[in-house]
């Protein structure tokens, strides 16, 4: 089956041709389509590639019945309703690497243009004037540059600013200071950065913690005469505060590439500010960046539909290859374990407790937890649940998910214990580990027993007396059911025993009910993990 990929915004021609040359994809390239056309096309699309023009809102997502993937060719995803996409099981990716250099260079271009009043001086000369004394600037060497946001773009800015012999300080609300030591700059608090910086540039997403970083309330805490740059997202600086700061002289200059409303309205107050440099969202607008972003986006699409790996996903954990290799048995086993326990609980559970032990506890276990939830909910929701929306659907159904990590091992180098609590208070549980890079269940209902969570299983609880295993085997043979594996465990001699039988074919309901009525059988459950 071919995957239908809709590219709704202007895109690099070579990228389009590269995707079209792949026989696994059918490409619909609109080069910028209106809303009506987009709504007409979205229903058949498996993948959607956008830039900043297309709005992927709840209304569009509702009509995207086959959509699996949205790729933003660029960094900002303000035009995508990520929570709604997640609820619908749609992976959202961006392509952050391709335009890092172009955006960093634009930020520094704005900084120097502002410092030396180049745009205003150029406009003055073109107006027939020679106003040398009016456009006296400031040097940047030795000045303090505050960089807010030290991700890909912020780091590129730091490298270049240090090369220009600026004193660079940094603040990042999302990255621990210990992880930024390689930048060899001073990491400070937000308040200190605002009060010390001669220049401030921002390179963060627009979030609750970054919105209105500079605002009317903290304007007076800025260093008098500061110059500010924004090539990230409109709204990180409160535009009313920038206007007031420029008027009062607290802010000596502003250079903005992004705005709360784009295009800006005709009455936008900063259009008439002499000490403000404005560009129409040009940060990533270079041929080099557009080509790099296009190639990165195409690579992500092909990789996802061929391998299932979601690189740069914003609503699904992205793992490096080494971590992926280590965790693969755990999340593959987790999905099967969740499905197994969900069936044992008859889909009736309201608490899922997941305990990670040993070396696995040192990893990002979010994919494993998601896999367990995916398996558990699949009994009730079928194809509606997947690795993106499983946590949202669990929350919507009132299922409480508890996670605990303990780096001390319990019999194996790493293991996972899962406990489902039913509405009656009854608990069903199992533990599993990675054995030779495959998942292996090591305990069921607290009893030590080893079996692979795969295929068709018949799980029997019986009284620990002679002949039960033999008569069960005879019963299956009489019903033409072949046994592939059989594992046994018991609590105490003469107590209660468990038997896990892997069989080649499903036992029909009538035959399963007969098995349950056999002498000394307490319960028998058939689990399909195929």
**3-class state of residue 326 by DSSP:** helix
Alpha-carbon distance 281 to 289, whole Å?
14
Q: What count of residues does the chain have?
A: 530
Q: Which of 3, 233, 452, 498 is catalytic?
A: 233
Angle (CA) 442-447-453 rounded to 5° is 35
- Token pair of 476, please? 């299956």
Identify the CA nearest to 149 among candidates 253, 242, 236, 262: 236
CB neighbours of residue 207 within 10 Å: 11
The pair phi, psi for residue 415, each rounded to 5°, is: -155, 160
| Beta-carbon contacts of residue 56 (< 8 Å; ≥ 6 apart) | 48, 50, 70, 79, 80, 81, 85
Q: Is there a catalytic annotation at residue 46?
A: no
Identify the CA nearest to 222 among candidates 191, 248, 247: 191
The pair phi, psi for residue 87, each rounded to 5°, is: -60, -30
C-beta pairs of 207-211 under 8 Å, 24+ apart in sequence: 209/173, 210/148, 210/149, 210/173, 210/236, 211/235, 211/236
Q: Which of 59, 191, 262, 519 is catalytic?
A: 262
Q: Is there a catalytic annotation at residue 203?
A: no
How far is the CA of 104 from the CAs of 70, 107, 173, 229, 239, in angstroms? 26, 5, 19, 11, 22
71: left (phi over 0), alpha (psi -120 to 50) or beta: beta
Residue 28 pairs in a beta bridge with: 6
- Token pair of 262, please? 């784009």
What DSSP string runs through 73-135?
A: SSS--TTB-HHHHHHTT-EEEE--STTHHHHHHHHHHHHHHHHTTHHHHHHHHHTT---GGGG
* Residue linked to tokens 């912020």: 154
Q: Which of 212, 281, 479, 490 is catalytic?
A: 281
Exposed (0-12), middle (13-18) or buried (19+): which is 402, by Cβ within 10 Å? exposed
Alpha-carbon distance 98 to 327, whole Å?
29
Alpha-carbon distance 46 to 306, whole Å?
13
Chain centroid to Cα 193, Å, comes to 29
Q: Is the peptide bond before 263 cis (omega within 30 degrees of 0)?
A: yes
Question: Is the dihedral angle over the CA atoms 112, 116, 122, 124 positive or is it negative?
Answer: positive
| DSSP letter (8 states) at residue 9 | S
Q: Is there a catalytic annotation at residue 105?
A: no
- Token pair of 265, please? 């309205």
The CA R_g of the chain, rounded to the nearest whole Å, is 30
Enumerate the active-site residues: 233, 262, 281
């Amino acid at each position: 089956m071919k995957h239908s990929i809709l590219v709704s915004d202007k895109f690099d021609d070579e990228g389009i041709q590269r995707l079209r040359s792949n026989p696994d994809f059918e490409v619909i390239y609109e080069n910028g389509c209106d809303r009506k056309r987009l709504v007409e096309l979205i229903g058949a699309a498996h993948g959607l590639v956008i830039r900043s023009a297309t709005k992927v809102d709840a209304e569009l997502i509702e009509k995207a019945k086959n959509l699996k993937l949205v790729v933003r060719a660029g960094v900002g995803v303000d035009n995508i309703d990520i929570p709604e996409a997640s609820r619908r099981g749609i992976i959202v990716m961006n392509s952050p690497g391709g335009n890092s250099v172009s955006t960093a260079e634009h930020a520094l271009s704005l900084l120097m243009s502002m410092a030396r009043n180049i745009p205003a001086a150029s406009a003055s000369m073109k107006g027939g004037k020679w106003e040398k004394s009016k456009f006296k600037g400031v040097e940047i060497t030795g000045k303090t540059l505050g960089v807010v946001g030290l991700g890909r773009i912020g780091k590129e800015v730091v490298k270049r600013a240090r090369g220009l012999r600026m004193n660079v300080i940094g603040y990042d609300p999302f990255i621990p200071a210990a992880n930024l030591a390689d930048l060899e700059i001073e990491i400070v608090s937000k308040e200190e950065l605002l009060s010390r910086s001669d220049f401030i540039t921002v390179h963060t997403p627009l979030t609750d913690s970054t919105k209105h970083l500079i605002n009317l309330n903290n304007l007076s805490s800025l260093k008098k005469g500061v110059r500010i740059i924004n090539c990230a997202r409109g709204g990180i600086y409160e535009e009313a505060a920038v206007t007031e700061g420029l008027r009062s002289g607290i802010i000596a200059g502003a250079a903005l590439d992004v705005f709360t409303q784009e295009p800006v309205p005709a009455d936008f107050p900063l259009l008439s500010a002499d000490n403000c440099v404005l560009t129409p969202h040009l940060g990533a607008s270079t041929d080099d960046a557009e080509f790099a972003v296009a190639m990165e986006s195409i690579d992500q699409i092909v990789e996802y539909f061929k391998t299932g790996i979601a690189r740069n996903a914003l609503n699904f954990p992205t793992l490096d290859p080494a971590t992926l290799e280590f965790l693969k048995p755990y999340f593959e086993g987790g999905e099967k374990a969740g499905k197994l326990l969900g069936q044992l609980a008859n889909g009736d559970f309201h608490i899922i407790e997941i305990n990670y032990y040993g070396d696995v506890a040192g990893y990002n276990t979010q994919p494993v937890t998601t896999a367990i939830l995916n398996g558990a909910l699949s009994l009730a929701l079928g194809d509606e649940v997947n690795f993106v929306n499983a946590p949202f659907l669990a929350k919507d159904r009132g299922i409480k998910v508890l996670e605990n990590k303990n780096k001390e091992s319990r019999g194996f180098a790493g293991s996972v214990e899962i406990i489902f609590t039913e509405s009656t208070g009854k608990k069903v549980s199992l533990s599993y580990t990675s054995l030779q890079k495959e998942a292996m269940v090591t305990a069921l209902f607290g009893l030590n027993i080893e079996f692979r969570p795969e295929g068709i299983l018949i799980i029997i609880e019986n009284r620990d007396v002679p002949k039960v295993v033999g008569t069960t085997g005879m019963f299956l043979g009489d019903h033409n059911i072949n046994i592939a594996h059989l594992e046994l465990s018991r609590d105490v001699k003469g107590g209660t025993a468990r038997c896990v039988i892997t069989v080649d074919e499903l036992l029909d309901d009538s035959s399963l009910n007969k098995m349950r009525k056999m002498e000394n059988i307490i319960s028998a459950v058939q689990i399909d993990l195929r």
